[in-house]
Structure 1
Amino acid sequence: MPYRILIIAPAWVGDSVMAQPLYRRLKHYRPDAHITVLAPDWTLPLLDRMPEVDATARNPFGHGALQMGARWRLGKSLRGQFDQVIVLPNSLKSALVPWFAKIPKRTGFVGESRYGLLNDARQLDKQALPQMVERFAILAESAGAPLPRPIEPPLLRIDPASRQAALAALGLSEAKPVAAFCPGAEFGPAKRWPAAHFAELAQALIAKGYAVWLFGSAKDQPETSAIAKLAGTAAAGNLVDLAGRTSLAQAIDLLSIAKVVVTNDSGLMHVAAALQRPVVALYGSSSPTFTPPLTELAEIVSLQLDCSPCFKRQCPLGHFNCMQQMHSGMVEAAIDRLLARDHHIRLQAI
């Protein structure tokens, strides 16, 4: 009989990627574990690409929605199906379904005073565990046990047939090396490198023979449209705006083709890192100490101003210097350093 584990997964794409090392450790400690992940619809394509996940279930509750009756009904429908649940979000609401489901072992951080809902409640030491991936991974350990390091990074698997289907569906070609730009950031504009800087970098990379693909959701279309417009006629035929045109599944498959990914601190940054693509990550209002790209093939670009990281959605000082003063030449130099390192690593592997 397998040891049946339910994971209450995060709602953010980046956090969903960073949870994978936890799943890997659970499988390592309990080879008989059967892992089911309860997650929002938009993160399911990520879970489909994680070999450690045996099954998924749809989490129907939107951000902030209590819906006590619906949570009780879902919990009741899960009774008797699991031996343990690990609750990754720290909200009170996220612990209700496992409690209603009467799952024998309910693991998670105390969070919003969840002592009554979790019977394996842990205290989070933020200084000992500065990174989000560490805070997830330690929940595979016994209460009070230290976190074994290093943590293996997330790794998403790609089906070549699915990737070819995505290329065909979008009319894309691999004839030129692809520079993928991810100019969005769900948290807010303070995490976004300006469109004018992205456009300047696009012009420079196209002059070097690259094709530039812009990734993002429909919400990012104003940003990607501005980049395409500012890049001008020199980018015609070599810059493709994919924002709002792909599913997350297609975006994952297409990002796996990129020779380099230039990205804000966002969910797609973590996807690109988990695809083992060379990543140049741009940080202003947020910190690479907390949520870095989890790959050796990464270059962090940050001005490290006195006012950053502020972790605000909008620049509280009104000048946005942490991103405005990060000119495209700095990022282009980071790309050159990163690709030289990638080439060296590949030569050593031969």
Structure 2
Amino acid sequence: MALEYILPGTVTQESPAVMHTLEFKEEPGRVLLVLPTWVGDVVMATPFVRALFMRFPDAEITLLMNHHLYPLLEGSPWVQHCEFWAPRKKTAEAKQQQRELLIRLKARRFDLAVMLPNSLRSAWLCFRAGAKRRVGFSRDGRGLLLTDKVEVPNRVAGGYQPLPLCDYFAVLGDALGMEHPGDRLALFLTDQANEAVESRLLKDGVLPEQPLVVLCPGANFGASKCWDPKRFAAVADRLVNLHNAAIAISPGPGEEPLAEAIRDNMDAPSFLLTQPCLTLGELKSLIVRADLLLGNDTGPRHFGRALDTPRVTVFGPTEQRWTETSHGDETIVNVDVPCGPCHKKVCPLDEQVCMTQVTVEMVTEACEEQLSSSC
């Protein structure tokens, strides 16, 4: 059973975690949905977002997200009401923004807050904002802040069993009376971003008849996810020679050195999309235009899934099962190693064998197969 509404700042006894469908005396009229903070996780959450809007069709649903992630959902029917996290800084300006966010959330008088992140921060904010029902997974010490705790479905002794993220979010959906949202990822394009990308490719000299191969060589997770730029360059050169491909290298902010290293190690020309880097909205428009997306296990990979772009993804230290979906044309290139998957941001060994044993030949073969079937 859910707890009665409690005022922010009040501590009460924990309610038991639930796996049954929550009951509402009245359907919520104002709902707050807290989105994940990683690019790929937001894309993986889109089936849940779509299902939540279907579950509460008459509610005013507000999305809370990091501001830089807004272009991910721009163009969708879900962004009529958005709030953005204030910076996590101790400056006077940041503290003022944090206070203003809390004031705005309190004024909305949410009937229901749903938290996709597992963070204590998300539960604390929803608690202080006074949301009447606060639903999230009971983990990371935040149980007292939730009125309706949902059992973690993949908890095992010593950690968590890998579970596809779409299925993980679906457990929250089940508690809310939603049907399983499925794992069909959804992204939307905007005319402005489409036109900006087409203009940039035309300016750089990409010909319409050339197969477009997009390289996304970075990974915000850490250096351990990044395949060697020299190997990316060798694969790109072979695709130019074999398929007359146009190679567009699109790094995220801070990943420019990786992209420049690929360009500098290529014999064939390439198109470096920096100065500035593409926005996330423009990156969607680039990837939907591509004949092949080549990269590491990182956010843009999920763009390709949502937009049905063929993909070749190099996997190293991360577990594939966390991000599995049942759709999309993707070839994953990896090797089994005794020490993996370790999920470490930086490899502690002298040689990161999970990456060094992924050869240029392996990745080139996978790319050729994808290009041959898509072009």
The residue that corresponds to 1:47 in the other structure is 73
- 1:116 has 2:147 as partner: no
- 1:310 has 2:342 as partner: yes
Which shifted more, 267-276 or 24-33? 24-33
- 1:319 has 2:319 as partner: no
The residue that corresponds to 2:61 in the other structure is 35
The residue that corresponds to 1:346 in the other structure is none
The residue that corresponds to 2:198 in the other structure is 167
Q: Distance in 1 between matches of 2:316 and 2:135?
A: 34
The structural deviation recorded for 1:141 is 1.8
The structural deviation recorded for 1:166 is 2.5
The structural deviation recorded for 1:248 is 1.9
The residue that corresponds to 2:265 in the other structure is 230
Partners of 1:6 and 1:86 within 8 A in 2 = yes
The residue that corresponds to 1:134 in the other structure is 167
Which shifted more, 69-78 or 109-118? 69-78
Distance 1:49 1:298, change over 3 A: farther
- 1:198 has 2:212 as partner: no
RMSD: 2.6
What is the identity, as a one-letter code, of the residue corresponding to 2:248?
A: W
The structural deviation recorded for 1:265 is 0.6
- 1:13 has 2:48 as partner: no
The residue that corresponds to 2:121 in the other structure is 93
The structural deviation recorded for 1:49 is 3.5
Q: Distance in 1 between matches of 2:96 and 2:67?
A: 20
Q: Distance in 2 between matches of 1:340 and 1:293?
A: 23
Partners of 1:273 and 1:294 within 8 A in 2 = no
- Of residues 231, 250, 256, the one that matches 1:215 is 250
Distance 1:17 1:101, change over 3 A: same
Partners of 2:212 and 2:247 within 8 A in 1 = yes
What is the identity, as a one-letter code, of the residue corresponding to 2:119?
A: S
The structural deviation recorded for 1:152 is 3.2
Q: Distance in 1 between matches of 2:226 and 2:356?
A: 10
- 1:25 has 2:56 as partner: no
User: How many aligned residue pairs are there?
Assistant: 336
- Of residues 271, 275, 282, the one that matches 1:240 is 271
Q: Distance in 2 between matches of 1:50 and 1:325?
A: 41
TM-score between both structures, scaled by the size of structure 2? 0.82
SS across alignment from 1:36: strand
The structural deviation recorded for 1:115 is 1.9
Which shifted more, 133-142 or 249-258? 133-142
- 1:79 has 2:106 as partner: yes
The structural deviation recorded for 1:230 is 0.7
The residue that corresponds to 1:330 in the other structure is 362
Higher CA-based Rg: 2
Distance 1:94 1:61, change over 3 A: farther
TM-score between both structures, scaled by the size of structure 1? 0.87
The structural deviation recorded for 1:64 is 11
What is the identity, as a one-letter code, of the residue corresponding to 1:302?
A: N
Which shifted more, 49-58 or 184-193? 49-58
The residue that corresponds to 1:289 in the other structure is 321
The structural deviation recorded for 1:53 is 3.9
- Of residues 165, 171, 183, the one that matches 1:152 is 183
The structural deviation recorded for 1:76 is 3.3
Which shifted more, 154-163 or 278-287? 154-163
What is the identity, as a one-letter code, of the residue corresponding to 2:321?
A: T
SS across alignment from 1:289: helix
What is the identity, as a one-letter code, of the residue corresponding to 2:262?
A: I
Deviations 1:249-297 (A, max 9, x none): 2222112110010110111111222121111111011121112467421
Runs of 5+ unmatched residues, structure 2: 1-26, 156-160
Partners of 1:87 and 1:108 within 8 A in 2 = yes
Report sequence identity in percent: 29
- Of residues 204, 213, 216, the one that matches 1:179 is 213
Q: Distance in 2 between matches of 1:112 and 1:64?
A: 23
What is the identity, as a one-letter code, of the residue corresponding to 1:329?
A: E
Runs of 5+ unmatched residues, structure 1: 344-350
Q: Distance in 2 between matches of 1:342 and 1:177?
A: 9
